[in-house]
Each structure stands twice: as structure tokens, then as C-alpha cells.
Structure 1
Amino acid sequence: MNHEIKQWQWRVTEAYQDERLDKVIVQVGEDWSRSKVQKWIQEGYIKVDGKQMKSNYRLRVGEEINVTPPVQREGDLQPEAIPLDIQYEDDDLLVINKPRGMVVHPGAGNRAGTLVHALLYHLQEGKLSSIGGSERPGIVHRIDKDTSGLLVVAKNDHIHQLLAEQLQQHQIKRIYWALVQGVLPHNIGTIDAPIGRDPMDRKRMAVINRNSKKAVTHFTVRERLTEHTLVECQLETGRTHQIRVHFKYIGFPLVGDPVYGPKKRSALIEGQALHARELHFVHPRTSKEMDFLVEPPVEFMNLLEQLRKK
């Protein structure tokens, strides 16, 4: 079945004055690659104030960018009766506590059993936003498969766009707990290091200066153990694998991380010990402060207890 992606709109702010059109779309868009964005610009799917521009067009404050991606021809996603831990739900959005081991949306090698499949079962057809495309209905932001915790899902395009703008303007507060290897000497700190695709392995991310995006993680030590540290992390930006990459970069990889940890992995937990514990945002329709906190899952807490005993 064909799935039409509705129009995506964004107005240029002072922060993006005189920046290249393609660069800005990659930064503020829905995780589109630069090559895809440049192709869409060339083919007229991206316009500025209703006009087709070139990729290197320099933006001006107040201009409106419109993106209408081409129709995708993809297989229908089938709803699946997978239980959801719903922390909040109204006519506009849901807040979900995602379990470890669940992939957020379909992709290569994950065509079933995702959060999206569960949402399609929970909600009637057409009750999720379409901005993210047919493979990612409702998904405003993601967390990795083995990362547990809170994320917000949009039921309509208007709310999705407003939540996306809050993300872009760093108005959504996301706080994680992570168990890292080694004893961090600093009580608080900020890791400000750009992240991009690892040129040696395109499936991994890395701190790299070329073809990268700004990435900032703030952290506070919650507890020091004999050989490990429990840290609380607040994301200022939301790059792929950001916390995992940043702590590897400073020499304190996450316990159990199969990609960025040491080759000899911890037998104490399957996958990285990372939990999205708090989520704070303003409801786009009611302007109400929305505050959520869920403690880490039992396997995370069991691991923490084992490390305390060591």
C-alpha cells in the first residue's frame, strides 16, 4: 500500500540565519541523511517560501521551509498485540515506558515486534502522526533497542510538529541513568564533542570533526562503586547513540555495551546499562508542564546491587 507523508513545515529562526538549506534540513529534520535531503531539494520536494532552491541556498530569518517527501511504497505494517507500559495518554499524545530489548520502529532486520507495531494495535488506524513516514508513525524521538525508559509519541501531525520544535529548541528535558565502567573522578561534567558516522565502520557512531553534528551531554555522578559509576545524564542534543559514544570517548564505556564497550563484554547484563528515567516537556495543546519519572527495570537494579556487593 502507498503511504503519503504529509507536509512538514518549519520557520527559520535566528540560529539558522545564513546557513545552507541542506545543512539545516539535516539538523532539524526527521533524521534524514544529507544525500537524501539534497536529492529531495533537486527534485522539488523541499521548497523555501514556496520556491525551489538549490542545496547551497543561504536561509533568512522568517522564511518557511516546506518538505513533502515522495510517496513511499512499502509493505503494510501489521498491528501486533504487544503489551505497552503507558504512563500517560490523551487525544494528542502518549508517554511510553519502553522495555529493554524492544526496537522503537521497523528497520533492516527488525520487521516485527517493534514499539510501532504495538502502538498500531493499541490505537485505531490513522491515530498516529504521519510526519515520520510510514515506518515511524508517531515517533517523535527514539531510544536504542537495549535502552529502557520514557519516550513521547504523537497522535497527530500538529502535535508532532510542536513536540519536534521543542526538541530542536532543547525544551524537552531527558534524563538518563547509566552504569559506566571505571570510577569517574568528577562529580559533575559536560561532554561537548561532535558525533558523526565512524569512517571505519558506518554502522557505528564516533566523536569526529568532519561530517558530524554538535553533541552535548551533561552528567552528574550519583554513586561510585568499586570499579563502576552510576551517572545521571541530561541530553542537550539527541544524536544517535550519544551517551554511549560520549562515555566511550572519555574512557568510561557503558557496562554491557555490545558496540562501544570492550570486546570482553559483561556477563551481568545483555546490552548497555542505560535507562531513560525522566521526561519533562510542555504539552503543546494545554501548555501544562508534563513530568514523568520511571525507575530502571529489574535487570538494571539487580546489576547495580551486584556491583555494590563487589
Structure 2
Amino acid sequence: MSEQYIVEEQDQSKRIDKLLSDALDDVSRSQIQGWLKDNIVKVNGSSVKSNYKVQEGDEITWEVPEPEPMELKAENIDLDIVYEDSDVVVVNKPAGMVVHPAAGHGSGTLVNALLYHCKDLSGINGVERPGIVHRIDKDTSGLLMVAKNDQAHRSLVEQLQNKSVERRYEAIVHGMITHEFGTIDAPIGRDPKDRQRMAVVEGGRDAVTHFQVIKHFEDFTHVECKLETGRTHQIRVHMRYINHPLAGDPKYGPRKTLDMEGQALHARTLGFEHPRTGEWKTFEVQPPEAFQEMLAYLEERQK
């Protein structure tokens, strides 16, 4: 299947491997570099190297390789396990880690690490996504629940569908939000102008995000976002929709932003009913060092 990306003014002079890895979730920069080396990616019909700096109006095209039967390998990758028993694992995923393998990159993902650590994971989502009940974006850090067996998987998915799972995020967004709290109820679907992005669109899937201000800064706001639904890129799309895009977001934010590797978004709190015992479990992890350093920078700048 052929894909296309037209370079906008805000992306002028970016390296092509960086631009595409930012634009395409679940495709790593090294994978993009491999595509460029294999001439899968072309600019204005011609092959280029990874360090090519794009120009406004460049037409980037690529043929997505046909998926090959994937033999997942367990990899000894460090994991921050917050909780584990015979049914469930709760992981604090670092920013920059892809959750599950996709065509062309079957290594270095959370799933590869889980296979080494757990051995057994639920098989409901098939061979490429064992145990994965829900996901967070590559550059978003924070808590994920993983099912070790099919019974646990079905229970956790049902809780997500019933909107009973508690999911709270911390984010840094552009601008000063004038309300202390609010609710964004706006349907999300594929952006008709750019199929690599999601957008608030008529006829999209219901999406509800609640937010509360933690602290105002001069031109940024530190917020907590609570998900009622879990659409792709929901917080990123909703905050852009109300003109407060996430800091550092290469897909939905402005070019002039905080110096971060990816969006300032962290899945801080996760709560659910244990699939076997029925006990309510709540877990919380503080944002990673880079996120906290950015908050400290904003604090210092405001003095």
C-alpha cells in the first residue's frame, strides 16, 4: 500500500528520518533509516539518504512492505515492573519504546521485553500483540496493564469498554488555559487531509477527555487529563482542538516548542478491578526525569 506525506513549512529543513519517525507512530527511526537505505522511501520520485533535509512542498512517498509472518523473539530488555501476579503485569513504559511489533520492526518493543520476562501472555490479540490490552504512543511514558492469560484479558477489555478503568495523565500544553477544569467531548477519526493523523471530525468515534489545571506558567500549562474513552492520540488531538497542543508534540503541536524528545505526556495513574479477585487496584508513577526537568525549567523561568 502506497503512502504519501507532503512537507509543510513548519517541517522545513528537518532530517527526513526524524520527520517520518515523528509522523508515523510505531515505526522507529532506525526502521525509517532501513526503508531509506532500501529505497522504499522516495522524495519527489527519487531516493535520498537518511540525512536529507526536507523542503516545503516535498512529496514523500513510500510503499509499506507487506507484513511477513512474524516470529517474535524474547529480548532481555530492562522493564520497570510496577506490579505482577499470575494474571496481570503493570509496566511503567519509558518514552521512546514502541508497545508492540509491526511490519518491518519486530524487535526492541515492549512485547519483546515482556516475552523474556513473563514467558506466558494472553493470546487473544494474536501472535504480534500477546498480552496487550491497551497501548500508549511510542513517545508517551507511563502505566500499561498487560494480561497474562485469556480470562484476564477478556475482563480487562470489558472494563475498558465499560469505561470503568481509571486512566489519568499529566501533560504540559501550550498557552495558558483560562478554565481550572473542563471536559472535551468531541468525536475523533482519521484526518481527511492527512491520513497519518487523527482529528476531531464529524462522524468520528465518541471521545471524552476531562482536564484539570495543575499549574499555570507564563505560556504553558501543566494539566491532568482523565480519559473516559481511549481513542488513538485522544489527548493529543483534543488538546490541539481547544488550541492548547501538547509541548514537544511533533505531529499535532507547533514547531516552536519546548526542547523535548516527543510530546510531554505521561500516563501517571491506572486503576482497574483485578480480573480474578475483584479487588480494586490503583497504581501511580511520577513522570520521568525529562518531564520533571522541563517543569523545573518552567518554574525557574517564571521567577
Shorter-chain TM-score bucket reads 0.7 to 0.9
Tell me which residue corresponds to 1:81: 76
Tell me which residue corresponds to 1:159: 152
Q: What amino acid sits opposite 1:151 in the alignment?
A: L
Preserved contact between residue 188 and residue 200 of structure 2 (Cα < 8 Å): yes
Tell me which residue corresponds to 1:107: 102
- Report the CA distance between 1:169 and its aligned residue: 0.2
Tell me which residue corresponds to 1:243: 235
Query: Gaps spanning 5+ residues in structure 1: where?
Result: 1-71
Q: Deviations over 1:242-294 (max 9, x none)?
A: 0000000000000000000013343x211000000000111010011101010
Superposition CA RMSD, Å: 1.2
Tell me which residue corresponds to 1:25: none
Tell me which residue corresponds to 1:207: 200
Aligned residue pair count: 235
Alignment of 1:287 onto 2:282: no
Q: Deviations over 1:148-197 (max 9, x none)?
A: 00010000111100100000000100000000010000001000000000
Query: Gaps spanning 5+ residues in structure 2: where?
Result: 1-66
For 1:239 and 1:112, how far apart are their aligned partners in 2?
25
Preserved contact between residue 75 and residue 112 of structure 2 (Cα < 8 Å): yes
What is the TM-score of this pair, normalised by structure 1? 0.74
Alignment of 1:146 onto 2:142: no
Q: For 1:201, what is the secondary structure of its paired residue?
A: coil
- Of the structure 1 ranges 103-112 and 91-100, higher mean CA displacement relative to structure 2 is found in 103-112
For 2:111 and 2:78, how far apart are their aligned partners in 1?
12
Alignment of 1:96 onto 2:88: no
Q: For 1:184, what is the secondary structure of its paired residue?
A: coil
Q: Which runs of 4+ in 1 moved over 6 A?
A: none
Residue number among 105, 112, 130 corresponding to 2:123 in the alignment: 130
Tell me which residue corresponds to 2:41: none
Alignment of 1:303 onto 2:294: yes
Q: For 1:111, what is the secondary structure of its paired residue?
A: coil
Preserved contact between residue 68 and residue 103 of structure 2 (Cα < 8 Å): no
Tell me which residue corresponds to 1:274: 265
What is the TM-score of this pair, normalised by structure 2? 0.76
Preserved contact between residue 70 and residue 128 of structure 2 (Cα < 8 Å): no
For 1:258 and 1:73, how far apart are their aligned partners in 2?
29
Q: What amino acid sits opposite 1:295 in the alignment?
A: Q
- Among all aligned residue pairs of Structure 1 and Structure 2, give the percentage whose two residues are the same amino acid: 60
Tell me which residue corresponds to 2:183: 190
Q: For 1:218, what is the secondary structure of its paired residue?
A: strand
For 1:265 and 1:273, how far apart are their aligned partners in 2?
11
- Report the CA distance between 1:111 and its aligned residue: 2.4
